[in-house]
Amino acid sequence: MSGNRFPNWKATMPTYTNPVLDADWPDPDVIRVGAEYYLVASSFNRVPGLPVLTSRDLVHWRFAGHALTALPPADHYALPRHGSGVWAPSIRHHDGRFVIVYPDPDHGVYVTWATRAAGPWSTPHLLLPGRGIIDPCPLWDDDGRAYLVHGWARSRSGVANRLTVVEVDPGLERIIAEPRTVVDGDEIPGCRTLEGPKLYTRDGWYWIFAPAGGVATGWQYAFRSRDVYGPYEHRVVLEQGGTDVNGPHQGAWVDTADSRHWFVHFQDRGAFGRVVHLQPMTWAADGWPRIGEEIATAPGSGRPVASAEFSPAPAPDGPGLGHSELDHSDLDCSDGFDTPVPRPVWHWQANPHSSWLHSTGDGALRLRVLPEDRGDLRRLGQVLGQRLPGRASTWTTTVRLDGGPPGARAGVVVLGREYAWAGLIRTPAGADVVCRRSDGVGVGVGVGVGVEESRAAALVADGVTAEACVELRVESDDAGAVTFSWRAPGATEWTLLDEPYQATGGHWIGAEIGLFGVAPIGAPAGTDDVAAFGPVTVTGPETHRSR
């Protein structure tokens, strides 16, 4: 048959612009099941953890839910363990079930299952105990055997820059063979920090897609072998290549129902964390993948594209995958607090306790003001936070401090290795409106060191001290410079609280904006002492793509 049956097809193809998720969604892995795509990302110490997103076109994403309601071991993560918790996970669909395999660098590799991406997910099973075992990915072979590839963290194991494959039973319940090193990065000129592997098969080859070079400065390898245990040959298939997309790597190869191929990866943007890019991918005549735009001076390697055409979402198909039943709360940051629990964009800094959340659902969020303040908000598990958007944004809310002993405080914090916050502090006479910053950089793994805070600004206004209620505004620009302002309820003019504060990323994550209420350790705890927050309204350019 001659001629083009769809003469206007090219003209109607939509175009996307990278990043497709312009906020901190670290170490993304993506699969397709039928016409639906599913993405998981690292969540580290934050709970709920293991966010699962869903899309029908790889560009517009929404929440399916979270795979973890608490981090195991529960007692260990009762306190914030910055830089620990869930590192790079992988998601697969096998034998009618979704499976997520994720590493905790201090405990080992866990597995959790669900029949629907929205959950419920099974209690995590410790498949491979051990420190420093990271970034696992399973593969079920055509002969019914199953394998797991993973990397190593030198900080825990003393070993790094190598990839290991181990055979596991098909149910991912136990290890059934000795692990083998299949790629030693020390034997590859220029290779360092080889990690984050994803294992696939295609046309009789075993493929490992793995990044190297470090989070902010690295590149993407592809390895192939006729045998799962090697030997593997390799190529660099994606690098910065003169673009402004630094460290383009670590992600997933995924195909579409219309036989196109894509590579999803991250870019480290400092205070904004690891944002997600989508690259077109093809398979060349020599059998190797081509990702992004080919670099003439580096044959076989590609550089990221800023935009590309993509396939519009097809009509829903395939019953039983849970698509129509998913909680399609979008990724917007605003929250009217009109549901019994905060929207899924929020998370705690540790496994939550039932006493933290006093109530929500009537247009206000109420947090118990508990006597747990050590003077460092990084040590506070009950900070309710969400990702700082990757573009300029303005956040507004109302905070009221109901009760609380002298020294009790409540407000909005921009939290990273350093932090700044604005809000109210209870005084014997009422309450002060303040803005304060941490003094010193927080430590990595663990609960911090209890640094002092500097009193960058302290203001008192008539009427505010009596009501202990103010409106707060937090403005962040495209570079992550943050300013705090306040006004009394009913007022029209905003008062700037301090000079701009430069947001900093956390330990392996971007900066967060959080809500908190807390009292000094040893202070009397009143059951009616709460920090009440009005609806959070976020404005600014598009920060997450959702449909």
195 labelled catalytic: yes
- Kindly state the tokens that stand for 352: 């939550």
Q: What is the DSSP string of 21-60?
A: B-S---S-EEEEETTEEEEE---BT-BSEEEEEEESSSSS
Percentage helix, strand, coil, to 5, in the chain?
5, 45, 50
C-alpha atoms less than 13 angstroms from C-alpha of 35 in its C-beta half-sphere = 13
Q: Which residues of 1-36 are buried (b: 16+ CB within 10 A; e: fewer)?
A: eeeeeeeeeeeeeeebebbbbbbbbbbbbbbbbbbb
The label of the residue with tokens 């660099």 reads 236
Choosing from 22, 36, 195, 373, the catalytic residue is 195
H-run or E-run covering 349:
none
Q: Are 279 and 290 in contact (CB under 8 A)?
A: no
Assign residue 481 a region (left: φ > 0; alpha: ψ between -120 and 50; beta: otherwise): beta
C-alpha atoms less than 13 angstroms from C-alpha of 428 in its C-beta half-sphere = 0
27 labelled catalytic: yes
Separation between Cα atoms, residue 381 and residue 397, nearest integer Å: 21
Q: Are 117 and 64 in contact (CB under 8 A)?
A: yes
DSSP state of 314: P
Q: What is the DSSP string of 80-99?
A: --TT-SB-S-EEEEETTEEE
Separation between Cα atoms, residue 453 and residue 435, nearest integer Å: 10
- Kindly state the tokens that stand for 420: 């700044």
Calculate the CA dihedral of residues 510, 514, 517, 518 and round it to 10 degrees: 0
C-alpha atoms less than 13 angstroms from C-alpha of 37 in its C-beta half-sphere = 25
Choosing from 24, 27, 106, 268, the catalytic residue is 27
- Kindly state the tokens that stand for 475: 């403005």
Kindly give, in sequence order, each residue whose CB lies less than 8 Å from that of residue 198, ignoring residues fewer than 6 positions away.
Answer: 29, 90, 137, 149, 208, 209, 210, 251, 252, 253
Three-state SS at 361: coil
**Residue 371's closest CA among 408, 402, 401?**
408
Q: Does residue 231 have a cis peptide bond before it, meaning omega lies within 30 degrees of 0?
A: yes
Three-state SS at 211: strand
**Residue 194's closest CA among 159, 232, 246, 227?**
159
Active site residues: 27, 195
